[in-house]
Structure 1
Amino acid sequence: MLLHYVFLALVLSPFRASAFYFYGYGGDRKCFLKELSKDTFLKGSYNLGVYDDKLEDYALPSQNDYGIVIDVEEVFDNNHRVVHQQSSPSGDFTFLALESGEYKICLQSQVNNWIGKTKTKLEVAFEVGFEAMLDSKRKDTLETLHGKVNILNSKIMEIRREQQLVREREESFRDISESVNSRAMWWIVIQVILLILICVWQMKSLRSFFVRQKVL
């Protein structure tokens, strides 16, 4: 019975989704951090609304007046930019993570004409998964048993990739720790050698001093 509930949970949640919105002004830039494993897709959907005094609400602006600039950067690679896209006020974009790590997704409203400082509302939604999973949602193949099994297999692959990412981080941390410990050990050895050399030098100096003073 427990396995049955786990299966349903995995099937009904074939991808990780998050949606939110924020208010600002034309030209504002907002960035989001996403941890992605290798070979996973990120699909982003956005909708820019501009405040209309007549409607007293936010409405979709003209494409001639506003646009959206989308940037995706690899945080783990000194913020290397891998996507730079200019698009309409409403739409979506997809991105394939070629390496495991943290990515920064930035969206900036762009004013194409001088129309003053206007209040804006940007709605953003992200879906993270595999291409087959995202396609299955659009084509409504979740109703078939074959589609559900494929999604479950993709979920298992995703979990394995997440585990691989954790193992890679553990290996990196272990290598750094071993390197630090090795340097600390060599520093202690060097200190001991210097201490021995100083002691030998002091003993020779004292012996020479006592000889000159005819003590020895």
Structure 2
Amino acid sequence: MAPVGTNSFVLTVLFLNFFYSFVSCLYFNIGAAERKCFTEEIPDDTQLTGNYRIQLYDKHRDKHLPTPQDLGIFVVATDPDNKLVLSRSYGSAGTFEFRSWVPGRYQICLRSSSQRPLFPGGLLTVHLDIRVGERTNNYTKIAAEDKLTELQLRVRQLTEQVQQILRELDYQRLREQHFHEVNHNTNMWIFWWPVARSLYVVAMITWYTNSW
């Protein structure tokens, strides 16, 4: 029988995968020299894809303007060890992607790739949809390229969903192990700090006593 915690995590992952299919892309405004960053918890060997589109926004007139041809975004992504995994300029609409090589928290930062300042009151509106793992697959394209039947496609989709859940479980175990290590170290520090402080006080009293 699987542990209760494992069963709960599997159910959580399944519910998240279900609700993710209904989440629309977010959007935000940034200035010409501003940078916006996000973090994503990703297992190892997992694909991340960001679909984006930018618009020029005039906050004084509260309306979007035609997007200039030279307007784009610059994307920088770093892994949990702060190592660079992506650093590239993109156009006004498109897709950026990378694959994780270690599990953990990845940071994704976006800013304007244009060197020229925007007009007063001008902002960039970024529409962004980040997909991780199995959700990055285009099953319509896969079915056409591999000539899969509807049943074969469904089996492949379920297989990849199970593989993604297993990667999530492995990552959860690593997080739990790290939490236990931090908790153990904290408890040891709490235990030994009063002891060390008491020994220090005794040593100082002994030194002052002998000095007399």
- Using structure 2 for the length normalisation, give the TM-score: 0.69
Counterpart for residue 177 of structure 1: 183
**Which of 163-172 and 177-186 deviates more?**
177-186
Secondary structure of residue in 1 paired with 2:108: strand
1:168 aligns with 2:171: no
1:30 to 21, 33, 36: 36
Give the deviation of 1:113 after TM superposition.
3.5
Identity %: 25
Counterpart for residue 60 of structure 1: 67
Counterpart for residue 113 of structure 2: 110
Structure having the larger proportion of residues in strand: 1
Count how many residue pairs are aligned between Structure 1 and Structure 2. Answer: 186
Counterpart for residue 125 of structure 2: 121
Partner letter of residue 69 of structure 2?
S
Unpaired runs of at least 5, structure 1: 1-5, 206-216
After superposition, the Cα gap between the structure-2 partners of 1:25 and 1:160, relative to the gap in structure 1 and judged at 3 Å, is same
Counterpart for residue 162 of structure 2: 156
**Which of 133-142 and 92-101 deviates more?**
133-142
After superposition, the Cα gap between the structure-2 partners of 1:32 and 1:195, relative to the gap in structure 1 and judged at 3 Å, is closer
**Which of 101-110 and 16-25 deviates more?**
16-25
Give the deviation of 1:29 after TM superposition.
1.4
Partner letter of residue 71 of structure 1?
V
Counterpart for residue 209 of structure 1: none
2:89 to 78, 86, 89: 86
Counterpart for residue 136 of structure 1: 139
Partner letter of residue 76 of structure 2?
D
After superposition, the Cα gap between the structure-2 partners of 1:114 and 1:171, relative to the gap in structure 1 and judged at 3 Å, is closer
Secondary structure of residue in 2 paired with 1:172: helix
**Which of 182-191 and 81-90 deviates more?**
182-191
Tell me how far apart the structure 1 counterparts of residues 18 and 113 of structure 2 sit (CA, whole Å): 34
Secondary structure of residue in 2 paired with 1:98: coil
CA RMSD of aligned residues (A): 3.7
1:61-95 Cα distance to aligned partner (Å, 9 max, x none): 212xx221000012x31x33221101212111111
Tell me how far apart the structure 2 counterparts of residues 29 and 185 of structure 1 sit (CA, whole Å): 43
1:69 touches 1:85 (CA, 8 Å); kept in 2? yes
1:156-204 Cα distance to aligned partner (Å, 9 max, x none): 111111111111111222233344455666678878999999xxx9xxx
Give the deviation of 1:21 after TM superposition.
0.7
1:37 touches 1:162 (CA, 8 Å); kept in 2? yes
Secondary structure of residue in 2 paired with 1:111: coil
Tell me how far apart the structure 1 counterparts of residues 30 and 19 of structure 2 sit (CA, whole Å): 33
Tell me how far apart the structure 2 counterparts of residues 182 and 115 of structure 1 sit (CA, whole Å): 55
Counterpart for residue 210 of structure 1: none
1:96 aligns with 2:99: yes
After superposition, the Cα gap between the structure-2 partners of 1:93 and 1:61, relative to the gap in structure 1 and judged at 3 Å, is same
